[in-house]
Amino acid sequence: MPRGGGTSLDGESVPPDGGVVVDLSAWSRVLEVDGDDLWARVEPGVVNRDLQRALLPHGLFFPPNPGSWTTSTIGGNVGTNASGMRSFRYGPTRAWVREVDAVLGTGDRVHLGRRVAKRSVGPDLLQLFVGSEGTLGIATELTVRLAPVPTTRRGVVVPLPSRPSLGSIVSSLARLPDSGLSAVEYLDAGCAAALSEARTARWRSGSALLLLEVEAGGASEASRRLTRLRSRLAKAGVPGMPAVFEDADELWTLRGESGNVLLERYGYHVREDVAVPVARIDDLLRALARIARRERVPYFLFGHLGEGSLHPNYVVDPTSAVAQRIRASVLSASRSLGGTISAEHGVGILKRPFLAEELGTSAIGLLTAVKTACDPDGILNPGKLYPPSSERGRPPSWSPSAGGVARARRRLPIARPTRVVSGGTRSTSARPRRRAARP
């Protein structure tokens, strides 16, 4: 099982039944940056923040920046198709991967994608790999697309009135022309109160908040855009005076703490990750509130509202029967509103029983065929993503077996990364090794 930073939230990087963990965190070099063609070639274990730091002198950045950007890796971001605060404008990791070199479960090496802006050469195997959670292959090198750093980035904190229609506010912001908006985030009153205690917060507890980012080509364009944004918000029924952070990253560092602050306050709890079409956001909010009332459990919400993506947090022991009921109800509510069971965190262990309901039997059959072709012995991240065989009435052909693992041991060409003195890392060998992996 490949593992990057180990920050994934649904058990993607945990071996539930033991096995071999291929820790790629030491494979962490930025190999090449092309400032003309806007790409960087990296090893899979490079931490998202380290890549961003390496790109800054080039005036470039890698737009997907999940809340875990200080610890999660590019290999892991690709493995889960992670999104960040600014995916309202830039989209998820999927949109920012150009090439992947990977080793499949068969031991074959594949090179997926090309370094071009567009391409029409049959079905896109690269995109099949993105979000595959380490179940099809292990990425050993990646080329990611880059964007120029905007000259000016303002963070904007907007207090919301007590009963806003969030769906209509978001639609109204999405239709604002030339807005420079790159992030539309939401904190409910409970999360905003918890974060308001941080030294850098510029709001008092009390109301729910929108957190926005406005990009611009300089201070005067930023100020024009902020004025238009204020008047658009007022028309949408949000008259409160926004607070502005000169440096948007200050705001995102604070926002990135939401999950941890809730964890510190309330301990382990149910934290979900769903997304619905923007037009159904208000319906989702009502459904989430109903679930909390029915189960008599406190709950908090934050998320990437601009994309209809929310993280409801229910304060209940995540291993309890109530938690199981809540999780099933939240996922079902999202699906019934035309949404998804996972906006950005992935499927892992926790959501595999729900996968078939979202994809349908035929699509699961196709996925099964792909999995079997890439990993016939079932050695790559067993127990993840694919629904348990018991739920489909037949054992999957990729079930890991002693024989499968032994065969794979002989085949896998991947070598353990070893540290080199310069601080980077280098693979010792790309040749097939008899004992590359140990159970």
The contact set with ligand FAD (CB under 6 A) reads: 1-9, 12-13, 24, 44, 66-68, 72-73, 75-77, 79-80, 82-84, 133-134, 138-139, 259-260, 344-345, 381
| Closer residue to ligand FAD, CB minimum distance, 185 or 215 | 185
Q: Which pairs with CB-CB distance under 8 Å and at least 24 residues apart come from 285-294?
A: 285/166, 285/310, 287/330, 287/333, 287/337, 288/312, 288/330, 288/333, 291/326, 291/329, 291/330, 291/333, 294/329
| Closer residue to ligand FAD, CB minimum distance, 44 or 190 | 44
| Element spanning 75, H or E | helix 74-80
| Closer residue to ligand FAD, CB minimum distance, 5 or 155 | 5
| Closer residue to ligand FAD, CB minimum distance, 260 or 401 | 260
Q: Which SS3 state, helix, strand or coil, does residue 221 take? A: helix
| Closer residue to ligand FAD, CB minimum distance, 24 or 146 | 24
**Closest distance to ligand FAD from the beta carbon of 237 (Å):** 28
Q: How far apart are CA 327 and CA 200, in angstroms?
A: 33
Nearest-5° angle of CA 36, CA 40, CA 43? Answer: 165
**Closest distance to ligand FAD from the beta carbon of 96 (Å):** 13
**Closest distance to ligand FAD from the beta carbon of 174 (Å):** 20
Task: Name residue 318's amino acid.
Answer: P
**Closest distance to ligand FAD from the beta carbon of 409 (Å):** 18
Please choose, from the candidates 223, 228, 67, the residue with its C-alpha nearest in 3D space to the C-alpha of residue 154.
223
Whether 27 and 417 have beta carbons less than 8 Å apart is answered as: yes
**Closest distance to ligand FAD from the beta carbon of 274 (Å):** 13
| Closer residue to ligand FAD, CB minimum distance, 152 or 334 | 334
Nearest-5° angle of CA 233, CA 85, CA 133? Answer: 145
As given in the structure block, the two tokens for residue 88 are 């309202």
Q: How far apart are CA 437 and CA 376, in angstroms?
A: 17
Nearest-5° angle of CA 297, CA 303, CA 309? Answer: 100
| Closer residue to ligand FAD, CB minimum distance, 68 or 334 | 68
Whether 155 and 213 have beta carbons less than 8 Å apart is answered as: yes
**Closest distance to ligand FAD from the beta carbon of 219 (Å):** 29
Please choose, from the candidates 429, 376, 384, 372, the residue with its C-alpha nearest in 3D space to the C-alpha of residue 407.
376
**Closest distance to ligand FAD from the beta carbon of 123 (Å):** 20
Whether 190 and 258 have beta carbons less than 8 Å apart is answered as: no
**Closest distance to ligand FAD from the beta carbon of 110 (Å):** 12
| Closer residue to ligand FAD, CB minimum distance, 238 or 254 | 254
Please choose, from the candidates 348, 379, 426, the residue with its C-alpha nearest in 3D space to the C-alpha of residue 103.
379
**Closest distance to ligand FAD from the beta carbon of 49 (Å):** 12
As given in the structure block, the two tokens for residue 286 are 């009502």
| Closer residue to ligand FAD, CB minimum distance, 190 or 346 | 346
